[in-house]
Amino acid sequence: MNVYESGVVRRVLADAGFAETPDERDADVLLMMTCSVRSHAEQRALGRLGTFRAIRSERPGRVVGVLGCMAQRLADTLASDDRADIVVGPDEYLRLPELIANARAGITGLVATRQTGECYDAVLPAPGLPSAGDYPPGSVSAFVTVMRGCDNFCTYCIVPHVKGRERSRPLSSIVSEAERQIATGAKDITLLGQNVLAWRDGSRRFPALLEAVAAALPRVRVRFLTSHPRDLDVELLKVMQRRPNVCPSIHLPLQSGSNPILARMNRGYTREEYLARVALCRRCLPDLSLTTDVLVGFPSETEDDFRSTLDLVEQVRFDFAYMFRFSLRPGTGAEKIEPKVSEADAGRRLSRLIEVQNRITAERNRELLNRTLELLIEGPSPRGPGWLGRTVTNKVVIVKGPCAPGDLVRCRVERINGWTPVAEVPDRTAVTAKVE
């Protein structure tokens, strides 16, 4: 989501005459997109803000700004105590040119954090420079946000408080943006939302949107995230069955395998209901890749609760999991839940969970050995020689041989390095197609 919103900011500023620079010391304006989901992310952002302030002191007139969720949550503190020139929440990016102009005129400590329900329908996100860490120009992958905000109010989560309530973009504008992204070189589109399954446009629900995008872009891979388990139903899976370009991959956050903890998290499903949805997914889509989020150390979590989570992870055998230790967010429901789990216990549980899931991920990836896969080449491998290829099930494979970004290749997995599959393309004749 932050990659996407950074693209929105780039477009707004480019339209106002700004150009991005790869060297922050050459910049007249230094902006940081922030996250508030975990306290560690905020601490890192504050450290980075200190670096920005030091750069600002080298040349008068530079503007330092904090954007996004942390700006929404800590607006006044960031403007006063942390001396940011501008502080801009997620719904106010269109005001950036005005705010920057005011700051450059000497008016600092500017705060813009109204929650307006903005969806940025008219803004086509711009790619970042290769050094920015986001998708660079010509990238084969792109995000399209279909909705913003969240109505779930899980007790550990700050998102509804900083991003606001759910609001959906019209189907037509989403399809139009996806088509424009394809025109600029994208071959793989991910539909984004805090819970994409909550998308609505009149009587149309997310399966209708997924079908419309897949039909409009039949030769493009289409993905989506994130999905709330409570909202997953057979209609979605039928679309995935019908449309071969919808990737058989679902991110289905679990958070906990314990019913008491799920109830205190306000997740809206039980362990048994989660397992039933997993069984339904795998029955409809036998080759499905399933990934998840898991949170340990939630207030009141006991050793038995944690063992229930480990047991479910072993039972489901996720292809991959994002695993976190609970981070208390002020103003959320979890703030009032007792007793709190000690940092030592939470850390030990997280280490054990990571150990178990890493083993399962390695085992799942070893199942790809000697299989021939169709891979979309995204770009050079970030670690060592070769290319980074992605399967329809969202598995990353390192490809050796003569490839180029955007190539669609069929090649055999020859070995597994750690848990990463490695395949070889013998020559250019093995390149089966360019995705269009």
Enumerate the domain spans of the chain: 2-112, 130-366, 372-434
Q: pLDDT by residue for the chain (436 residues), tens digit each?
A: 889 999 999 999 999 999 999 999 999 999 999 999 999 999 999 999 999 999 999 998 999 999 999 999 999 999 999 999 999 999 999 999 999 999 999 998 999 999 999 999 999 999 887 655 555 555 899 999 999 999 999 999 999 999 999 999 999 999 999 999 999 889 999 999 999 999 999 999 999 999 999 999 999 999 999 999 999 999 999 999 999 999 999 999 999 999 999 999 999 999 999 999 999 999 999 999 999 999 999 999 999 999 999 999 999 999 999 999 999 999 999 999 999 999 999 999 999 999 999 999 999 999 999 999 999 999 999 888 899 999 999 999 999 998 999 999 999 999 999 889 999 987 666 666 544 4
Whether 13 contacts 97, CB under 8 Å: yes
CA-based radius of gyration for the chain:
22
Superfamily of domain 130-366: tm_1862 like domain (3.80.30.20)
- Report the Cα 425 to chain-centroid distance in Å: 30
Q: What angle do CA 292, 250, 3 make, to 5 degrees?
A: 80
CA–CA separation, 236 and 210 (whole Å): 8
Our measurement of the distance from residue 153's CA atom to the centroid of its chain's CA atoms, rounded to an integer in Å, reads 19
pTM as predicted? 0.93
What letter represents residue 414's amino acid? E
Amino acid symbol at 138? G
Q: What superfamily would CATH give domain 2-112?
A: Methylthiotransferase, N-terminal domain (3.40.50.12160)
- The order of strands in the sheet holding 63-68 is 29-34, 63-68, 86-88, 110-112
Structure tokens of 71? 């700006």
Rounded-to-integer distance, Cα 67 and Cα 60, Å: 21
Helices 171-183, 206-216: axis angle to 10 degrees equals 30
Q: Give SS3 for 10.
A: helix
CATH superfamily placement of domain 372-434: Nucleic acid-binding proteins (2.40.50.140)
Q: Which two tokens stand for residue 42?
A: 């905020």
For the chain, the maximum distance between any two Cα atoms, rounded to a whole number of angstroms, is: 64
**CB distance 47 to 27 below 8 Å:** no
Buried b (16+ CB within 10 A) or exposed e, 260-293: ebbebbebebebeebbebbeebeeebeebbbbbe
Rounded Cα gap, residues 245 and 131, in angstroms: 31
Distance CA 198, CA 262 (A): 20
